[in-house]
Chain A
Amino acid sequence: MVTDRLKAIVPYAALLAGAAFLYHEAGRFAYAAKPGELGPDVWPKAILLLLIAVCAYEIGRRMLFVRRAPKCVAATETLAADAAEPVAAPPSAGDAARHPYRLLAGIALTVLYVLALDVLGFFLATALYLALFMVVGRYRRAGVIVATSVVGSLAFVFVFMKVVYVSLPLGTGPFQAVSLWILSLLGIH
């Protein structure tokens, strides 16, 4: 029971601590003050005070008054409750992650993709990212994975470099040679 309550206040406590730190930082902005005019710290400080107040209220409410998981009522929820049948919505993103390791793998893969873009170039990094993303997402048809990754990456290169004129990363060393070969294959100069 107490653990549940503590878990419920963790995000608000973290936000409150962050807001308090930023409030302190806002007091240290360097600027040339103009007499009779408010400084650049007033607006952020006002927002931070509001954030601190809201977090403190929610922490207090959850610690003192809420016995179960909080049920927040908004216009849509009230009406949904009044309606004749229960709502059969698709799985909400707010539901607890059932595959936390898969989620972490997805985040790690995404970070690696951004790191790899400058080295491998857009085509190679993207083809690898798409393929691995599908594998991490539990899709197992190898033929579809390879085909969609390669064709999808080529399509992105063509559309963005030939149609939208965006200069995508080419990579370095031998990977750059591959990117340039792909570009010449697609008729992009």
Chain B
Amino acid sequence: MFDVVHQLALGFHHLLSVDNAAALIVGLIVGMLVAVLPGLTLVMGVVLALPFTYGMGITPSIVLLTAMYLSGTYGGAFTSILFRIPGEPLDVPLLWDGYTMARNGRPAQALGWTLLAALWGGLITAVSAVALAVPFAKFALRFDAPEYFAIVLFGLTGAVALGSGSVTNALVSLCIGLLLATVGVDPTYGADRFSFGVPILTDGIEYLTVMVGAYGLGEVLARMGQGFVTAPVDGGGKIETSLPRWRETWRLRATVARSSVIGVLCGIVPGAGATVGSFIAYGVEVQHGKRRAQMGSGIPEGIIAPQIASTATVGGHMVPLLALGIPGSGATAVILGAFLLHGVQPGPQIFQNEAGMVYTIFASMFAAVIGMCLLGYFAIKPLVKVLHLPEAVTSAFVALFCFVGAYSARNSITDLWMIVIFGVVGYLFEKYRFPIAPMVLGCILGPVAETSFMTSMIAYQNDWTIFFTRPISGTVMVLIVLALAVPCVSRLRANHRARRATAVEAGGG
């Protein structure tokens, strides 16, 4: 305990260096801007920032991306509440009570509740990351190849089972990502796989080009196909934040506690993430909150529940990323990419070999929470002005960022062709409602999954039951089955409810 506090204090000290502090401030501002702009998603913003980290040290790089990630979970709340434009999917629940409160003539109060929720969710997420990461890492030191394979598989199935949309489409997306990771020369045998004699394929497909193309260019193309239709907003009104009183806040302690737990848990479970956390926290309030009957009428519970949960997921995501090297979301996949680009493999050893860096990242999370709230309180008016930028202009620059970002990695024009290909793939994925995140996670985690699977097979004489008979891997395998079964059961229940409602309507008619 004392050691953790000591390391954290050193982390705060390291954070005061010019590089780290500048990365933190830039990350906060850019994260807010990205979240405010409806044409840019949080993950897309983090992807586009990645190339700028090539020339930076590893610590400021991760501080920059983590600050973007944290402030991105908060920035979209402003446009949801003030203009009914959710900057991110995770901000959608804020429309129901946040926008309604603003429409009822209390926009400053709505923004105040959001700020308080982001502050609490952020502090909880930072504390939980510090408290959970070391025990996680110590536990992970017991892992052998079968455990790693099971954990990676759990991360991948989590992305499939808990993402929004069809489980089948998510599985297809995951398979494509895993296949992309197999293209090129196989590390065990040196066999050429799926390159068909094309030199650029022999080197393998860089996951960076998959991420940037599918998330960045794909989204730009999709919006171009829609004709850049985001409605102009009237941002001329008075934008203020009014903080709630302590007595009002204390009354909501049960909501705060529930949403904090939901947020942290959704962060730790791979694939769940901020959007799922935000919806679940709102749903729990609708079902179990003291004022559940008034949900949707503009009450604070409907604002703080989703906001706390979405911000609280960030630290939860950082725990498996740092302790196991397994990203649970699109944004943490990009942060893992930044680690790998700098030659650092996150995992249990990182707490021994790179403790200074890890605790600087944790310290930056505390500082980022305070910084984003100050930014939200004092600088929201100029930030919201970015909504006046024409979408065609911002999209043109987003596309350019994609190209320059991918080109900077290896100074290779062939990577630009990959961006174009995966841009079109990303567009087709969105058109046919295949989620992109499983493909990206599959592409990044595919080599780890294959290596740990092959190592297990070699070590245990091709006995595949080893994944089920060892205590830790067996438990994780059971969790995988549950993760896949839960959405199927909820789907069956939803269909059953729909059939019953139809039958009642038909009977009544």
| Interfacial residues, chain A to chain B (CB-CB below 8 A) | 11-12, 15, 19, 22, 25-26, 29-32, 36-44, 47-48, 50-51, 54-55, 57-58, 61, 70, 72-85, 87-100, 102-103, 106-107, 110-111, 113-114, 117-118, 126, 129-130, 133-134, 136-139, 144, 148, 152, 156, 160, 163-169
Give 23 pairs: A residue, B residue, CB < 8 Å, sorted on A: A29-B186, A30-B191, A32-B189, A39-B189, A39-B191, A43-B454, A54-B175, A55-B172, A72-B166, A73-B490, A74-B487, A83-B96, A93-B218, A98-B225, A102-B225, A130-B400, A137-B396, A138-B227, A138-B392, A144-B390, A148-B396, A156-B400, A166-B411
Among candidates A22, A58, A87, A167, residue contacting B179 with C-beta atoms closer than 8 Å? A22
Contact between chains at B396 and A130 (CB < 8 Å): yes
How near does chain B come to A133, taking the closest CB pair, in angstroms?
4
CA distance A143 to B19 in the complex (A): 38
* Binary contact track B372-410/A, C-beta < 8 Å → 1, others 0: 000000000000000000111101110110011001100
A160-B405 Cα distance, complex, nearest whole Å: 10
**Contacting residues, chain A, for B457 (C-beta < 8 A):** 37-38
In-complex Cβ contact of B164 among A74, A81, A136, A138 (8 A)? A74
Q: Is the CB of A160 within 8 A of B408?
A: yes
**Known A30-B192, A76-B276, A98-B225; contact A93-B431, beta-carbon cutoff 8 A:** yes
Task: Verify if B92 is at the interface (C-beta below 8 Å from A).
Answer: yes
Q: Give the residue of A58, A137, A160 whose beta carbon is less than 8 angstroms from that of B392.
A: A137
- Please give the distance in Å from B353's CB to the nearest CB on chain A: 28
Alpha-carbon gap, A172 to B182, bound state (A): 37
| Chain A positions within 8 Å of B84 at CB level | 88
Interchain CB contact under 8 A, A80 and B279: yes
Residues of B within 8 A of A58 (CB): 168, 172
Complexed CA–CA distance, A26 and B193 (Å): 7
Write out the residue numbers on chain B whose beta carbons fall within 8 Å of the beta carbon of A137.
224, 228, 391-392, 395-396
State the CA gap A92–B89 with chains docked (Å). 10
Determine the residue in chain A with the shortest Cβ distance to B220: A106
Q: In the bound complex, do residue A139 and residue B283 qualify as a contact, i.e. CB atoms below 8 Å apart?
A: no
Task: State in angstroms the CA–CA spacing of A165 and B411 once bound together.
Answer: 11
When A84-B296, A90-B230, A165-B55 are in contact, do A103 and B430 touch as well, CB less than 8 Å?
no
Name the one of B86, B395, B491 contacting A89, with C-beta atoms under 8 angstroms.
Answer: B86
The yes or no answer to B178 lying at the interface (CB within 8 A) is yes
- Are B182 and A79 interface neighbours, CB within 8 A? no
Contact A44 B171, beta carbon cutoff 8 Å: no
A76 touches B226 (CB 8 A): no
> Bound complex: CA of A130 vs CA of B167, how far in Å?
38
Interface window among B140-148, B240-248, B354-362, B417-425: B417-425
B224 closest partner in A (C-beta): A106
B92 contacts A87, CB within 8 Å?
Answer: yes
A interface footprint on B186-200 (CB within 8 Å = 1, 0 otherwise): 101111111010000
The answer to whether B494 touches A83, judged by C-beta atoms less than 8 angstroms apart, is no
User: Do A103 and B282 touch (CB < 8 A)?
Assistant: no
Confirm or deny: B116 has a beta carbon within 8 angstroms of a beta carbon on chain A.
Answer: no
Highest count of chain B CB atoms <10 Å: which of A81, A110, A160: A110
Q: Are B182 and A93 in contact (CB under 8 A)?
A: no
State A119–B321 Cα separation when bound (angstroms): 42
What is the chain B residue whose CB lies nearest that of A44? Answer: B182
Note all chain A residues with C-beta closer than 8 A to B225: 97-100, 102-103, 106
Q: Which residues on the A side are within 8 Å of B399 (C-beta)?
A: 110, 129, 133
Query: Knowing that A99-B224, A99-B226, A102-B224 are A-B contacts, what are 5 other residue pairs whose CB atoms are under 8 Å apart, sorted by A's residue number?
Result: A75-B162, A75-B164, A89-B86, A89-B89, A167-B411
Q: Is B232 among interface residues, defined by CB-CB distance under 8 A?
A: no
Q: Which 5 A-B pairs have the closest CB atoms?
A: A84-B296, A137-B392, A97-B225, A72-B166, A93-B222
**Contact present for B224 and A139 (CB under 8 Å):** no
Chain A residues with Cβ below 8 Å from B275 are 76
Report whether A31 and B189 are in contact in the complex, using a CB–CB cutoff of 8 Å: yes
Question: CA–CA, A83 to B230, complex, Å?
Answer: 24
Chain A residues near B168: list those with CB within 8 A. 54, 57-58, 61, 72
* Alpha-carbon distance between A107 and B468 when the two chains are bound, in angstroms: 48
B172 touches A74 (CB 8 A): no
- Interface 0/1 of B139-178, CB less than 8 Å to A: 0000000000000000000000011111111011001101
